[in-house]
Amino acid sequence: MDTVVTGDEIRLNDAVSAARAVPRPETVDFDSWVAARGAELLRFAYVVTGSQVAAEDALQTALAKAYERWSRVSTVDNPDAYVRRMIVNAHVSWWRRYRRRESPSDAFEVVDLVDDPADRWSTTDIVWQACLELPPRQRVAVVLRFYEDLPYAEIAQVMKCAEPTARSYVHRGLATLRLAIEEEDDRDD
């Protein structure tokens, strides 16, 4: 089956092509090329960086370098692709510099270089002993919430109770655990 193309369709296609046409870099100066391609390059930079500010910075860096080398950039087959690569390189260079930068802080933490495993075991043992003294439903609720990391809705399903009841079990269990651990600390002092 032959397709018939009318004169109106040809003119429409030519108009669309002309609207999409970007001046060849050899025939235009840098400013005209940026005016024609700047918005698209900024959108590309935004997609690459994920931030408007970072996109503007990466685009500005890339365009500054492209301006310095415009005689060479304008002769490549696809100057848009060349400048896009410059945008990506500018962003990669930025985050490499940012990652290496030290971040001073007002607060600092003194950390023991040697961790005493006995301290860890004794603390864990105190908590487990206190858990064993909880009523069974409170113990189950606390273990499901903090050991299994389940949300209250799933705890209620497992325990076959209402969600507010599961919350209550966890709350009461934690209060009992706090008291038991405080009493143990008082005995140690």
Q: pLDDT of 27-70, one tens digit each?
A: 568 899 999 999 999 988 888 888 888 899 999 999 999 999 89
- Lookup result for tokens 């950039």: 73
Mean confidence (pLDDT) of the chain? 79
Q: Predicted confidence band at 177 (pLDDT cuts at 50, 70, 90)?
A: confident
Instruction: List pLDDT tens digits, range 79-104.
Output: 888 899 899 989 888 877 776 665 66
Better-scored residue on pLDDT, 25 or 31: 31
CB 66 within 8 A of CB 45: no
Q: Which two tokens stand for residue 117?
A: 């495993």
CA 126 to chain centre: 39
Residue 12 CA, chain-centre distance (Å), reads: 44
Q: Which of 174, 156, 172 is nearest to 164 (CA)?
A: 156
Please state the pTM of the whole predicted model. 0.41
> Residue 185 has what pLDDT?
74
Q: Which helix (H) or strand (E) holds 185?
A: helix 163-188
Using pLDDT thresholds of 50, 70 and 90, give the confidence band for residue 153.
very high
Closest CA to 54 of 14, 17, 94: 94
More confident site: 130 or 176: 176
Percent pLDDT > 90 in the chain is 28
- How far apart are alpha carbons 35 and 33 in whole angstroms? 5
d(CA 37, CA 42): 9
Give the Cα separation of 10 and 7 in Å (integer). Answer: 5
Structure tokens at 51: 């931030």
Contact 165, 171 (CB under 8 A): no
